[in-house]
């Protein structure tokens, strides 16, 4: 008996269940990645004080789009990406709690999207584990809810590399090139110079592979993200070359500077190590940093053996170029500088650790599982100890700034007003005042202009306790506190 039309239709429909199974597998994979992102967000909301005042750099970025205080001086190395990121909150609210909650939720979403770019390239358990390793570093949790660019460079770099690998593997993937362009634009919008270093291996590979749409997507994203910075260079800094020169000078002169030991000193919670003196971080805190290249190498060897070396080598290459300028070209350190390298190496490290556990057999498997579990437990304990100490110390220091702003208001220094001297920029933002410096990296006014302005609006000079004020302020009334001295100018006529 001949097959009926209905039988033919049934036969054509048979591939349906595998497609449903694939969708189910993808959904389960997304659940693991979402869980990692959710725990990361919860850790930020739990361990970083939401009411913690804005830091110096945060103040600069937020003040550009805030109605609370005048815009602070915007120096050559900075880019407007963070200001655009926080604008949905800061243009109408001065609540630090609301801003940090917004950034914590947004950073969790960013981590999920960056990890999702690698789904299908590595096993889901490796991608999720890599995301968890990155998300539990104290520096990642600490900077996730802060108005700073480095975390966003990190997740942008991870997403960009993932989309590049997907576009290279599957020419029919229409979304991967768009993901590359969007991720490259995000990195360049946050830190244009970092974008060049991070994407350098991807650009080189794109040209070598002779796939025109890959370098086109990358370059389009980089140009779109860096365009505001380049335009501003010609409008406000005398050209691109001059802005780059100014940026190098402000950062102490970029060149051959070995900062590896400086980064080691900063691992114990020093958010800025400039000048970087004192001992290196305790071995219990820094052990993971020494182990990072070892496990990344193990992950690379595992990938080569599993015949998926290319994705791992892309991650390692991008992590290397992202780290080079901050390890060998700058004379100081901050742990946030290496966040992009940590994000890119997290997946190879996870691959290596998973291999240690799953490849062992017989009596050695319990030993491997125990060693990895104990190592991870000790690592997490050290990370959260540093995180708690750093967040509490920072919160206390910034409460002093808020207290100083309140004292200035009590002394009659109210908006519109002007501050100069020690920590004038963040304290000025808290007080709703402008800040001015006549020397240093933040010099934005001459002495004559400063004194002319001081005759028109309330003005104060801030110094460290016991430090001498500028000559023009020595006869002014001084108000001394434990952490600062305030020299308040006579009321303007």
Using one digit for the tens of pLDDT, what is the confidence trace for 327-341?
Answer: 999 999 999 999 999
Q: Which residue has the higher pLDDT, 24 or 223?
A: 223
Give the three-class secondary structure for 330.
coil
DSSP 138-179: HHHHHHTTSS-SHHHHHHHHHHHHHHHHHHHH-TT-SHHHHH
Coil, helix or strand for 273? strand
- pLDDT exceeds 60 at position 438: yes
Split at pLDDT 50, 70, 90, the class of 280 is: confident
pLDDT band of residue 490 (cuts 50, 70, 90) is very high
pLDDT digits (tens, 9 = 90+) for 379-431: 999 999 999 999 999 999 999 999 999 999 999 999 999 999 999 999 999 99
In angstroms, the first-to-last Cα distance of the chain is: 108
Q: State residue 10's pLDDT score.
A: 36
Residues 6+ apart with CB under 8 A from 47: 141, 384, 387, 388, 391
Question: Can you give the C-alpha Rg of the chain in angstroms?
Answer: 26
Tokens of 146: 């802060």
* 66-75, 270-279, 372-381: segment of lowest average pLDDT: 270-279
Q: What integer pLDDT is reported at residue 343 of this predicted model?
A: 98
Residue 232 has pLDDT above 90, yes or no: yes
- Bridge partners of residue 31, in order along the sequence: none
Query: Does 3 score more than 50 pLDDT?
Result: no
For range 170-193, the mean pLDDT: 95
Highest mean pLDDT among 14-18, 150-154, 362-366: 150-154
Phi, psi for residue 421 in degrees, rounded to 5: 105, -155
pLDDT surpasses 50 at 166: yes
Q: Would strands 459-463 and 485-488 be described as parallel, antiparallel, or unpaired?
A: antiparallel
Token couple for 95: 């609540």
- Per residue in 59-99, pLDDT (tens digit) is 999 999 998 899 999 999 999 999 999 999 999 999 999 99
pLDDT of 306 over the 90 cut: no
| 460-488 burial code (b ≥16 CB/10 A, e <16) | bbbbeeeeebeeebeebeeeeeeebbbbb
Residue 17 confidence (pLDDT) above 70: no
Residue 332: is the preceding peptide bond cis (ω within 30°)? no
- Mutual angle of helices 339-359 and 309-328, in 10-degree steps: 140
- What are the residue boundaries of the structural domains of the chain, listed by start? 251-359, 395-488
Band of residue 105 on the pLDDT scale cut at 50, 70, 90? very high
Residue 198 has pLDDT above 50, yes or no: yes
DSSP string, 423-487: THHHHHHHHT-EE--SSSTT--S-HHHHHHHHTTS-EEEEE-TTPPPPGGGTTS-EEE-SS-EEE
Q: In this predicted model, which residue has the larger pLDDT, 396 or 9?
A: 396
pLDDT of residue 441: 87
User: Where do we find the tokens 């080079």?
Assistant: 324
Other beta carbons within 10 angstroms of residue 120's beta carbon come to 17
* Strand arrangement, sheet containing 418-421: 434-435, 418-421, 459-463, 485-488, 478-480
111 vs 132: CA distance, rounded Å: 10
pLDDT at 18: 56
């Amino acid at each position: 008996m001949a097959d009926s039309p209905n039988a033919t239709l049934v036969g054509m429909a048979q591939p349906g269940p595998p497609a449903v199974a694939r969708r189910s597998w993808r959904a389960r994979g997304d659940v693991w990645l979402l869980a990692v992102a959710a725990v990361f967000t919860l850790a930020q909301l739990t361990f970083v004080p939401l009411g913690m005042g804005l830091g110096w750099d945060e103040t600069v970025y937020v003040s550009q789009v805030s109605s609370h205080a005048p815009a602070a001086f915007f120096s050559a190395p900075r880019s407007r990406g963070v200001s655009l990121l926080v604008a949905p909150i800061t243009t109408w609210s001065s609540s630090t709690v609301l801003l940090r909650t917004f950034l914590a939720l947004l950073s969790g979403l960013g981590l999920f999207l960056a990890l999702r770019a690698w789904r299908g390239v590595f096993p889901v358990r490796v991608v999720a584990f890599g995301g968890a390793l990155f998300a539990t570093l104290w520096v990642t949790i600490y900077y996730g809810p802060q108005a700073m660019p480095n975390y966003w460079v990190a997740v942008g770099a991870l997403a960009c590399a993932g989309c590049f690998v997907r576009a290279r593997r599957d020419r029919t993937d229409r979304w991967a090139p768009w993901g590359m362009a969007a991720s490259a634009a995000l990195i360049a919008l946050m830190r244009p110079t970092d974008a060049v270093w991070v994407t350098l291996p991807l650009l080189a590979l794109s040209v070598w592979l002779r796939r025109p749409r890959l370098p086109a997507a990358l370059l389009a994203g980089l140009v779109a993200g860096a365009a505001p910075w380049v335009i501003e260079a010609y409008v406000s800094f005398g050209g691109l070359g001059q802005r780059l020169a100014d940026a190098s000078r402000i950062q102490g002169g970029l060149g051959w500077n070995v900062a590896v030991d400086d980064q080691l000193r900063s691992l114990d919670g020093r958010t800025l190590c400039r000048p970087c003196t004192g001992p290196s971080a305790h071995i219990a805190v820094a052990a993971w940093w020494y182990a990072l290249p070892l496990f990344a190498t193990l992950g690379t060897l595992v990938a080569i053996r599993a015949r998926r070396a290319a994705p791992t080598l892309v991650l390692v290459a991008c992590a290397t170029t992202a780290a080079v300028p901050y390890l060998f070209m700058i004379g100081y350190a901050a742990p946030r500088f290496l966040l992009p390298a940590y994000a890119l190496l997290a997946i190879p490290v996870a691959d290596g650790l998973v291999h240690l556990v799953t490849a062992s057999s017989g009596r050695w498997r319990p030993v491997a599982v125990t060693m990895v579990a104990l190592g991870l437990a000790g690592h997490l304990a050290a990370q959260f100890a540093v995180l708690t100490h750093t967040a509490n110390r920072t919160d206390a220091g910034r409460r002093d700034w808020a207290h100083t702003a309140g004292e200035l208001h009590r002394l009659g220094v109210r908006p519109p007003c002007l501050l100069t001297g020690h920590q004038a920029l963040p304290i000025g933002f808290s007080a709703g005042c402008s800040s001015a410096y006549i020397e240093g990296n933040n010099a934005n006014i001459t002495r004559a202009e400063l004194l002319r302005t001081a005759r028109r609006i309330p003005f104060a000079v801030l110094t460290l306790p016991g430090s001498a004020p500028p000559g023009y302020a020595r006869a002014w009334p001084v108000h001394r506190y434990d952490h600062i001295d305030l020299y308040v100018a006579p009321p303007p006529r």
